[in-house]
Amino acid sequence: MSTAQSKAKNARGKRVAPAAHLNDVPRLRVEDMTPDAPLGVAELKQFTAADFEAWCLRGEDFRRRLSAAVIAALRPSDVWRVDFEQGGEWGGVCPVHLRFTHKACDQIIIDVMSAGPASPYWNGLLWVNTGSTGLYCWNEDGFDPGSITGLLERIDALVSAGRTQPVDIASVLWRGGPHA
């Protein structure tokens, strides 16, 4: 504590504690979390790429729980079918790998992938040719449910407006519109 801080007094002349800084807030330690520890939006927002990887290295049960927690935080609308990678079937590169398929248009598939060893960012990959060619159409520094659901809403708005070709949707997203 600095001299100025130790001498800080309120209006009544009593000493007051120095203001806490954001860096003073203890960060969630993934390695200390138990299998039944809460995994809500607040916890997920604290995770770094290394935390996501550390969580998944604890086993498939932890990875499934993490993916389910991300889906629960997103609360995707009923227009989407959502699945998540469970055994490395999509390459096993990202700790959380979600696949959203539009129910009204099966060729509209977007993968949402967490930060991890392959990338420090969350990414959205829109499949142009299912299984062979994808275009990255979104990325974010950390877990932001609003950003992800906003992306899904924009894609749904495009499908509802009659755009059913993934390359058309990717083109609109690359240009930054429409903002639903």
Task: Write the CATH number for 55.
Answer: 3.40.50.11880
Is there a domain that residue 34 lies in? yes
Please check whether residue 136 is in contact with residue 125, taking contact to mean a CB–CB distance below 8 angstroms: yes
Residue ranges of the chain with per-residue pLDDT less than 70: 1-32, 35, 131, 177-180
Is there a domain that residue 139 lies in? yes
Give the span between the Cα atoms of 30 and 17, in whole angstroms.
30
Is there a domain that residue 2 lies in? no
The closest of 92, 91, 109 to 100, measured between CA atoms, is 109
Question: 118 Cβ partners below 8 Å, 6+ apart?
Answer: 93, 94
pLDDT at residue number 24: 45
pLDDT at residue number 113: 96
pLDDT at residue number 30: 67
Please check whether residue 48 is in contact with residue 115, taking contact to mean a CB–CB distance below 8 angstroms: yes
Give the span between the Cα atoms of 74 and 67, in whole angstroms.
11
The two structure tokens encoding residue 164: 């059913």
Domain span holding position 92: 18-175
User: Total structural domains in the chain?
Assistant: 1
